[in-house]
Amino acid sequence: MSNQPGSKRRKTALITGASGGIGYELAKLFARDGYDLVLVARSESKLMQLEAELKERFSTSVIVLVKDLSKPSSPTEIFAQLQTQSVRVDVLVNNAGFGGYGLFGQTDLTMELEMMQVNMVSLTHLTKLFLKDMLAQGEGKILNLASTAAFQPGPLMAVYFATKAYVLSFSEALAEELRGSGVTVTALCPGPTATGFKKRAALEASKLFTGQVMDSETVAKLGYRGLFNKQTVVVTGLRNQIMAFSVRFVPRDMLTQAVKRMQDSN
């Protein structure tokens, strides 16, 4: 990293869940625009492939951190390692996350606790750790991956929808707290997106992914633009924007029933 005294410091973006999907596409956008990168994910092989690609295409500096954010110690380990290397993070992208499908009474508790750890707790922990330096410098950006799932309850994905509601609420509240500080917070809220999410969440049979879905490159570009335009909430696509706006006018019980029908595989 070019963060040495006496040199013009290149800015650094840390991206979790960088090995595929939206995180992978965001990494390319930051590298294209001259950022050094810290890439975090569980898959070492995928991260190494991405590192090689970014160095070849953009001549950017890359630090690869193989971490599982379902483990509570991971955020502290990430922060400590970067502190040791004197790396200052200018942009934090909390992209890592996953979902699960099924009736709550029948789904796996261990998986859901890990989901909550990754989607909410690690996101909050990383934000707490890196925000302090951003505030001290008077500038910084935080991009949190929420979802259109954040705008309503989600039967058959009850825990996942709840985690994304947390991310959206947390991001909006933090954005207001930080107003005027030089640090901005953006919640990216995509709808169904062509990533590895569907397979990991066992959503192949759900109606949710049977229609037209947005590709991860488009979602990343919209989120990236919104981040630099200092938007607090970015909902990707007109259809998703209409849905996110209209749910406030629908009675909650009717809305919840409609979401269940949409997600049901029968």
Residues that are catalytic: 160
**Contact call for residues 14 and 40 (beta carbons, < 8 A):** yes
**Contact call for residues 86 and 3 (beta carbons, < 8 A):** yes
Beta bridge partners of 189: 235
Collapsing DSSP to helix, strand or coil, 141 comes out as strand
Q: Other C-beta atoms within 10 Å of 36: how many?
A: 23
**Contact call for residues 144 and 169 (beta carbons, < 8 A):** no
**Contact call for residues 146 and 167 (beta carbons, < 8 A):** yes
Give the Å distances, CA to CA, from 187 to 43, 62, 196, 225: 25, 25, 20, 12
> 220 φ, ψ to 5°?
-60, -45
